[in-house]
A = this chain, B = another copy of it.
Amino acid sequence: MPTFDQITDVLSRQAIELPSWAFGNSGTRFKVFGTPGTPRTVQEKIADAATVHRFTGLAPTVALHIPWDAVDDYAALRRHAEDQGVSLGTINSNTFQDDIYKFGSLTHRDDAVRKQAIDHHLACIDVMDATGSRDLKIWLADGTNYPGQGDLRGRQDRLAESLAVIYDRLGPEQRLVLEYKFFEPAFYHTDVPDWGTSYAQVSALGDRAMVCLDTGHHAPGTNIEFIVMQLLRLGKLGSFDFNSRFYADDDLIVGAADPFQLFRILVEVVRGGGMEPGSPVAFMLDQCHNVEAKIPGQIRSVLNVQEATAKALLVDTAALARAQEDGDVLAANGILMDAFWTDVRADLAAWRETRGLPADPMAAYAASGYQQQIESERVGGQQAGWGA
């Protein structure tokens, strides 16, 4: 097994983008609970995200969601972020909250609706130009609730056409990542339900179109690390949306539901070159903190990814290859589990301190007074949520 010192180089490269919306309120169709201190503005969201980075050193960028985070002056927003010590990252489009999109957006059979959805994405690319963002992430709520409601084939063809228009508008350093999702909010069919569909669509576009893998968007039992392996192999894994789930798209804290799965995913990321310098893989959180505190929830999340990455890097790959070659199933599995069961927390804590970071970011945040400060300062106004 490598020593901890041998893996810190890679660990020091790790960067996990935070979603601005994780700091706003979220919930279920039954209830969205508010909490004291919740941001009212994108600037406050960025301040919270920067706080996570300050305590962890892991989260140097913030993803924006348009229109939730739309502002008049993106250059100013960019400076605001940089003043806080972070950068603006992926731009996420939204074609699921206007009444016009009730029956689809980029797949809609009405040319006018489709044009509006395309134009929204072109406007998002304008934002990217202003923020310096590399990635446009497209997650579509498009789908149907009843068999017969839509023409699956026609919708797929129109999706291809719409994406081509958007892709053509990208700058040479910009990328499009297409997310897939098994179901929800559509309950019969989803227009991009699986990695195969996303892969087929982005392959038709070109080299700068890639797949976004959200760890909560699969059928029960799906072997997600296999998909990670396959997309890396095919050169089409553009980004991760990390979260975890017991049931559907629960959007729980990454690693909370099945920490062994997160470890296996990171083992395949490492195996496939996803942690190497210049790797095209972007790492991002996409979670909901429905009942837990938001800022510590994000801190916990990036730490979970860091711990799982450390364990993945500790796998004794030479010994593993030998056991695999020998057909020694128990030995091979045991080598993997040795890394998983190794408690990396003390080593990580000590290493953090060498980098000027708190050994225990959760405790340090709790002791910092930041939470009390925002709870007392952020009074009045409209707490941010998915609607605004």
Q: Which residues of A contact B (CB under 8 A)?
A: 26-34, 96-97, 99, 102-103, 109, 141, 144-153, 156-157, 182-185, 187-190, 193-197, 199-200, 218-223, 225-227, 229-230, 232-234, 245-248, 250, 252-253, 256-260, 264, 268, 271-272, 290-293, 296-297, 300, 307, 320-321, 323-325, 327, 329-330, 332-337, 340-343, 345, 362, 386
Name the B residues within 8 Å of A220 (CB-CB). 219-221
Q: Are A329 and B149 in contact (CB under 8 A)?
A: yes
Query: Whole-angstrom distance from the CB of A224 to the nearest CB of chain B?
Result: 11
Decide if A230 touches B196 in the complex (CB within 8 Å). yes
Q: How many copies does the complex hold?
A: 4
Pair A96/B31 contact, Cβ less than 8 Å: yes
Contact B153–A188 (Cβ < 8 Å): no
Q: Is B233 a contact partner of A153 (Cβ separation < 8 A)?
A: yes
Contact: B149 with A187, CB < 8 Å? no
Return chain B residues, CB-CB under 8 Å to A250: 145, 187
Known: A30-B97, A157-B233, A223-B246. A149 touches B332 (CB 8 A): yes
Q: Which residue of B lies closest to A232 (CB)?
A: B153
Chain B residues near A103 (CB, 8 Å)? 291, 327
Contacts of A223 in B (CB 8 A): 188-190, 193, 246
Tell me which residues across on chain B come within 8 A of A264, comparing CB atoms: 147
Given A219-B222, A343-B343, also A194-B193 (CB < 8 A): no
The one of B109, B183, B247, B297 that contacts A187, using a Cβ cutoff of 8 Å: B247
CA–CA, A232 and B152, complex, Å: 12
Is B183 within 8 A of A30, CB to CB? no
CB <8 Å contact, B332 and A148: yes
Which residues in B have their C-beta under 8 angstroms from that of A337?
A: 148
Closest 6 interchain pairs by CB? A196-B196, A148-B336, A219-B219, A187-B250, A28-B185, A292-B329
Closest to A160 in B: B233
* 8 Å CB contact of A150 from B96, B148, B153, B324: B324
A30 with B343: CB separation less than 8 A: no
Query: What are 10 contact pairs spanning A and B, CB under 8 A?
Result: A26-B29, A30-B386, A109-B325, A145-B329, A149-B324, A150-B324, A156-B230, A187-B245, A330-B362, A343-B343
* Max count, chain B CB within 10 A of own CB: residue among A223, A268, A307, A325: A223
Nearest-CB distance from A250 to chain B (Å)? 4
Cβ contacts under 8 Å, A234 to chain B:
200
Q: For residue A248, which residue of chain B has the nearest CB?
A: B248
Q: How far is the CA of A345 from the CA of B337 in the complex (A)?
A: 12
Rounded to whole angstroms, the CA-CA distance of A250 and B249 in the bound complex is 13
Task: Specify the chain B residue showing the minimal Cβ separation from A101.
Answer: B31
Q: Which B residues are in CB contact (< 8 Å) with A260?
A: 147, 258-260
Given A199-B200, A337-B148: A102 and B219 interface contact (C-beta under 8 Å)? no
Contacts A144-B329, A146-B330, A291-B329 aside, 14 further interface pairs with beta carbons under 8 A come to A29-B29, A30-B141, A102-B291, A103-B291, A103-B327, A109-B324, A146-B332, A147-B333, A182-B247, A195-B196, A196-B227, A259-B340, A292-B333, A341-B345
Residue of B nearest to A341 (CB): B343
Which chain B residue has the least Cβ–Cβ distance from A148?
B336
Contacts of A229 in B (CB 8 A): 152-153, 156
Which residues of B are found within 8 Å of A258, using beta-carbon distances?
258, 260
Are B183 and A247 within 8 A (Cβ)?
yes
Q: Are A257 and B325 in contact (CB under 8 A)?
A: no
Collect the chain B residues with CB atoms within 8 Å of residue A248's CB.
Answer: 183-184, 247-248
User: In the bound complex, what is the Cα–Cα distance between A196 and B200 (angstroms)?
Assistant: 8
A321: chain B residues at CB < 8 Å are 151
Q: Report the Cα distance A218→B297, complex, angstroms.
A: 30
